[in-house]
Amino acid sequence: MTATRLDEDFTSSVHVYEPHRAGLPRLGPYLRELWRRRAFASELSRTTMRAANTTTVFGQLWLVINPLLLAAVYFVLVTILRGGDSDGDFFAYLVAGLFAFYFVSGAISTGAASVVGGGKLLLNTSFPRLLLPLSAVRTAFGRFLPTLVIYMPIHLALGLPWRWTMLLAVGFLAMMVVFATGMAMIFATAQVYFRDTASFLPYFIRIWLYLSPILWYPVQVPDEIKDFMILNPLYPMIGGWSELLRGDEIPQVSWWVAGTLWAVAAFVAGSLFFMSREREFAVRL
Amino acid sequence: MPSVSETAPVLAKETGGPAVRVEHVSVTYRTTFERMPTFKNALVRFGRGERAVKEVHAVRDVSFEIDHGTTIGIIGANGAGKSTLMRTIAGILPPTSGRIEVHGRVSTLLALGVGFNPALSGRENVVLGGLAAGLTRKEIQQRYEQIAEFAELGEFIDMPMRTYSSGMYSRLAFSVAVHMDPDILLVDEALSAGDAHFKQKAAAKMHELVGQARTMFLVSHALASIKDLCTDAIWLHNGQLMMRGKPGDVVDAYNRFLKVGEGAFTLEDL
């Protein structure tokens, strides 16, 4: 061994490559390099958004029209199902929850496609692959922000109260970002091995939408299944987010705890799973 | 221009070691031969008790050392493991056993082109590729004009890459790779699509890089170019190192092995 023996990383001067099939890379150098190349993730996300919006008639506007139309359709649907018993409060709740849900599901589905869609870049360049799903989450967040701006006039028009507790909703948003990142990494890895992940994902997301407190209030859940609801990570996250944003009271402690635990668990599991597999991606694409 | 690229070669040379040291490297990868690996197929196979994963022994126990400033040609039949070896040196594929030590910044120009997204313009792709390779925005900006000028794309540089011809594609890819100021440049049959004018220009650029004491790996079936450009050569066959030596000797041995004369490769250059 020479004096220059550094372990495998992506630095520009000395690299040593040694066998490692399923193990994790050394986290220190990996994370340092991930941070050093963060500009790549944000540039990729920016150009992806630019490229995706130039081909549609409404362009960027579509990012706002689409969720608004969906919210309107669901509002009509739920009003009919309830026999005409819906109010403005519910609309605000629905819009807040739906927009947040579309952020999470958007992050998961673009994240799932990120590695397989990275194609030639992966085959020809050596870089921390984790940048790809992270960039996808950034894209989804960039699409979510304008919808958040749309919520404000709705809140105002419905005459809902403005409270300082609304700011606490950021806590639940942070959980959703961390959770969505973890899920994006899990599905990005899964899609490398099973390409049909992309086709079953929409069904999975649709079912998840109905099981999350978006079209109904958490208090409406029957007592028999109430205990199981905490198994849905989005139950506390979206529930807490929508209620706080609408100006309700601060949600119970168990939601904060469950949401945080779910988010951290998804993030840790997702990043470990992704990093332990990423060196195999080049031969699996 | 106080960038990483300038300090790196000094650093690497001070160590006195070779630019690239490959020690008993084998690359065996398990891959599936399905056109589309799907969960459904996996279930069906599991039901039948089959396994779709096959082992490919792409590189077997290859060892060599390359000093700084060497231009080394790598020749061998299709499927000999040349591209796999390039990817392993670039750090894209991990070796299954053995060890690779690389001193210096590596730039790759591999067979499949650069990681270009066809929906984005040439300019955006150059920036993305550079960022992925670890350059800063500033470093890319400094090089951008040279890259665009060398590729001779004119106004096409700002058009989506799906509108490019294959020649334009490979011109841009070549231009990006050589302008990254690499200490070690890996070139894998990447010039096949350029026209005669660009090939001459590319060959001149490569001579220039060789003159600057860069280290270059050149994978090519154009044996004449190997003889012309390289100072050293390696012949791979079925993943094994058959011969290492002067380019002329290695090319002759390879030709004798294939039982073809010099004429077989005159249709190609570089």
pLDDT digits (tens, 9 = 90+) for B88-133: 888 888 888 888 888 888 887 775 555 567 778 888 888 888 888 8
Amino acid B268: pLDDT: 47
State the pTM of this model: 0.83
A chain contacts of residue B91, beta-carbon cutoff 8 Å: 8, 10, 15, 17, 126
Average pLDDT over residues B143-149: 88
Residues A239 and A218 in one domain: yes
Subunit contact A39:B99, Cβ cutoff 8 A: no
Separate counts of helices (H) and strands (E) for chain A = 11, 1
For the stretch A234-243, pLDDT in tens is 999 999 999 9
Among all chains, which residue has been given the structure tokens 């390409």?
Answer: A195
CA distance A103 to A107: 6
Chain B residue closest in CA terms to A117: B117
Asked if residue A162 and residue A26 are part of one domain, the reply reads no
Q: Quick check: A186 pLDDT over 90?
A: yes
Number of domains in chain A: 2
Q: ipTM, 2 decimals?
A: 0.76
Span A82-93, pLDDT tens digits: 887 778 788 889
- Which among B12, B38, B136 has the least Cβ separation from residue A194? B38
What does the pLDDT look like over B182-211, one tens digit per residue? Answer: 788 888 876 666 678 888 888 888 888 878
pLDDT for A238: 93
Cβ pair A14:B98 closer than 8 A: no
A64 and A21: one domain? no
Predicted confidence band at A3 (pLDDT cuts at 50, 70, 90)? very low
Across the range B229-256, mean pLDDT stands at 88
For an interface test with B, the pick among A14, A18, A37, A125 (most B C-beta atoms closer than 10 Å) comes out as: A125
Is pLDDT at B12 greater than 50 in this prediction?
A: no
For A189-225, what is each residue's pLDDT tens digit? 999 888 888 888 999 999 999 999 998 888 888 888 8
Average pLDDT, chain A: 85
B58: nearest CA in chain A? A283
CATH fold of B4-105+181-265: Rossmann fold (3.40.50)
Nearest residue to B157 via CA among A178, B19, B146: B146
Best mutation site among A283, A284, A285 for testing chain B: the one with the most B CBs within 10 Å? A283
Strands in B71-75's sheet, in edge-to-edge order, are B106-109, B184-188, B215-219, B71-75, B232-237, B240-245
Stretch A131-159: mean pLDDT: 90
Mean pLDDT over A71-88 rounds to 85
Considering only CB atoms, which chain B residues are within 8 Å of A47? 117, 120, 124, 128
Residues A118 and A2 in one domain: no
A60 and A25 in a common domain: no
pLDDT for A189 equals 93
CB–CB of A108/A187 below 8 Å?
yes
Residues A122-146: what's their mean pLDDT? 89
**Are residues A164 and A239 located together in one domain of the fold?**
yes
| Residue A136 and residue A9 share a domain | no
Summarised one tens digit per residue, pLDDT across range B216-231 is: 888 888 888 888 888 8
Please check whether residues A130 and A59 belong to one and the same domain: yes
Give the structural domain span for A121: 37-284
Structure tokens at B182: 């690499």
Within this chain, do residues A257 and A235 fall inside the same structural domain, yes or no? yes
Question: Does residue A29 sit in the same domain as residue A41?
Answer: no
Residues A14 and A127 in one domain: no
Nearest CA in chain B to A128: B132
- Would you say residue A168 has pLDDT above 70? yes
Chain B residues touching A194 at Cβ < 8 A: 37-39, 42
Q: State whether A100 and A42 are in the same domain.
A: yes
Q: Give every CB contact of residue A110 below 8 A, 6+ residues apart in sequence.
A: A136, A139, A140, A184
Alpha helix (H) ranges present in A82-168? 88-124, 131-157
User: Which helix (H) or strand (E) is B99 found in, with range?
Assistant: strand B97-103
**For residues B57 and B237, what is the distance between their CA atoms, to the nearest angstrom?**
12
Alpha-carbon distance A196 to A171, whole Å?
34
